[in-house]
């Protein structure tokens, strides 16, 4: 039996490596239990017909008017035609990194408490008037591919995820629990949530339930540099932005970016920007 790798098997040259891929799919035939490895998380909107997803734990049937968000993994996928016309769905594929960025931007520090049985490999929603209009807007953009840039695709995905988050926070957060099972996502979440926290790399590794050596190796694979170098650079960038405001002072900024003392902050800042924090502020405020 053929094994489908989604969305990779159907990617165009332009889509290769994109963090968000959006497709409108229509079919004149039904299919049963196609073996599919979904390599990115998928948001599936059923427009016409039915779809059934089977994984190791659940069987979920979706009809027209329903939405599913599915974590990446292996599944058996079936589709059935409507009484009249073609099967039609709108599929949005997105990486764990995109989901991590979404949680950092919109829900960091507000994850709440989820019951263990709330953890689901996929979650479903019923469409409403807003989502109906959203579908139409995406289909219009797909009809004009030159207009539908990668940046706009990311914004359209975030628009829908943010709407679902505000409509039913607990349900969408249950999917975040799945995504956080990925060590890479745990590392991204821990690092990007604690840039200005006075915390060591060893402590970050502990928060990610991994050894220090494994943490450093995976961090290098994700960010292309060491944890200490990346964190220092991020701290310095935040400090530089703060120093562009006249009400901020170097004597207070160092603590805001997680340094225990001003002298080590000044050394790190000068190494990054070539001047002291005071000189940098004077140059940017003059």
Which of these three, 163, 179, 195, is where a domain ends? Answer: 179
Question: Tell me, what's the pLDDT at 151?
Answer: 93
CB 95 within 8 A of CB 19: yes
Do residues 175 and 196 share a domain?
no
CA distance 157 to 22: 9
Q: Are residues 189 and 169 in the same domain?
A: no
- pLDDT tens string for the chain (286 positions)? 578 888 887 877 777 778 999 999 999 999 988 888 788 889 999 999 999 887 755 678 899 999 999 887 667 788 999 999 999 999 999 988 898 889 888 875 555 444 444 456 678 999 999 999 999 999 999 998 788 999 999 999 999 999 999 998 888 877 755 554 567 777 887 788 888 887 788 888 877 778 899 999 999 998 999 999 999 999 999 999 999 998 998 889 999 998 989 999 999 999 999 999 999 999 988 6
Q: Does residue 109 sit in the same domain as residue 8?
A: yes
CA distance 190 to 187: 5
Residues of the domain holding 255: 183-285
Residue 49: the pLDDT is: 96
CA 54, distance to chain mean position in Å, is 24
> What values do phi and psi take at 29, rounded to 5?
-125, 150
Query: Domain with 270 in it: what CATH number?
Result: 1.10.10.60
pLDDT value of position 114: 42
Q: Kindly state whether residues 139 and 204 are assigned to the same domain.
A: no
Q: How many CB atoms lie within 10 A of CB 29?
A: 9
Q: Is 157 found in the same domain as 114?
A: yes
Q: Is the peptide bond before 7 cis (omega within 30 degrees of 0)?
A: yes
Calculate Rg over the CA atoms of the chain: 23
* CATH number where 36 lies: 2.60.120.280
Residues 43 and 158 reside in one and the same domain: yes
Domain count, the chain: 2
C-beta separation of 9 from 79 below 8 A: no
Question: Residue 153 contacts by C-beta under 8 Å, 6 or more apart in sequence?
Answer: 18, 20, 21, 22
Q: Are 32 and 91 in contact (CB under 8 A)?
A: no
User: Is 133 in the same domain as 254?
Assistant: no
Sequential DSSP letters for the chain: --EEEETGGG--TTTTT-SEEEEEEEESS-EEEEEEEE-SEEEEEEEESEEEEE-SS-EEEEETTEEEEE-SEEEEEEEE--SSS-EEEEEEEE-HHHHHHHHHHHTTT------GGG--SEEEEE--HHHHHHHHHHHHHHHSTTT--HHHHHHHHHHHHHHHHHH-HHHHHHHHHHHTTSHHHHHHHHHHHSTTS---HHHHHHHTTS-HHHHHHHHHHHHSS-HHHHHHHHHHHHHHHHHTSTT--HHHHHHHTT-SSHHHHHHHHHHHHSS-HHHHHHHHH-
> Which of 179, 204, 219 is the C-terminal boundary of a domain?
179
- Decide which of 118, 150, 179 is a domain's last residue: 179
Confidence (pLDDT) at 27: 95
**Residues 175 and 187 occupy one common structural domain:** no
pLDDT on residue 229: 94
- On whether both 149 and 236 belong to a single domain, the answer is no
Q: Please state the φ and ψ torsions of residue 49, each to the nearest 5 degrees.
A: 100, -165
Q: What is the pLDDT of residue 113?
A: 46
Task: Give the whole-angstrom CA distance, residue 101 versus residue 187.
Answer: 12
142 and 214 in a common domain: no
What pLDDT does 177 receive? 53
Residues 213 and 113 in one domain: no
Q: Is residue 145 domain-shared with residue 71, that is, in the same domain?
A: yes
Residues 93 and 105: their CA atoms lie apart, in Å, by: 19
Q: Is 109 left (phi over 0), alpha (psi -120 to 50) or beta?
A: left
């Amino acid at each position: 039996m053929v094994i489908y790798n989604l969305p990779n098997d159907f990617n165009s040259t332009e889509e290769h490596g994109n963090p968000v891929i959006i497709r409108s799919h229509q079919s004149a035939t039904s299919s049963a239990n196609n073996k599919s490895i979904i390599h990115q998380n998928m948001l599936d909107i059923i427009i016409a017909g039915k779809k059934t997803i089977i994984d190791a734990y659940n069987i979920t049937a979706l009809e027209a008017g329903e939405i599913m968000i599915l974590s990446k993994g292996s599944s058996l996928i079936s589709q059935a035609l409507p009484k009249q016309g073609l099967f039609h769905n709108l599929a949005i594929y997105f990486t764990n990194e995109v989901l991590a960025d979404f949680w950092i931007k919109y829900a960091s520090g507000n994850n709440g408490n989820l019951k263990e049985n709330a953890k689901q490999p996929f979650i479903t929603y019923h469409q409403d008037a807003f989502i109906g209009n959203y579908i139409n807007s995406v289909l219009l953009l797909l009809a004009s591919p030159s207009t539908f840039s990668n940046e706009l695709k990311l914004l359209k995905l975030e628009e829908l995820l943010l709407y679902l988050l505000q409509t039913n926070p607990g349900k969408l957060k249950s999917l975040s629990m799945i995504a956080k099972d990925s060590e890479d996502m745990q590392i991204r979440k821990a690092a990007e949530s604690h840039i200005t926290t006075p915390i060591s790399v060893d402590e970050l590794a502990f928060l990610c339930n991994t050894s220090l050596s494994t943490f450093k190796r995976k961090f290098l694979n994700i960010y292309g540099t060491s944890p200490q170098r990346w964190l220092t650079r991020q701290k310095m960038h935040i400090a530089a932005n703060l120093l562009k405001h006249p009400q901020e002072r170097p004597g207070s900024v160092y603590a805001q970016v997680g340094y225990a003392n001003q002298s080590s902050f000044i050394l790190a800042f000068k190494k990054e920007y070539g001047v002291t924090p005071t000189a940098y502020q004077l140059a940017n405020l003059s």
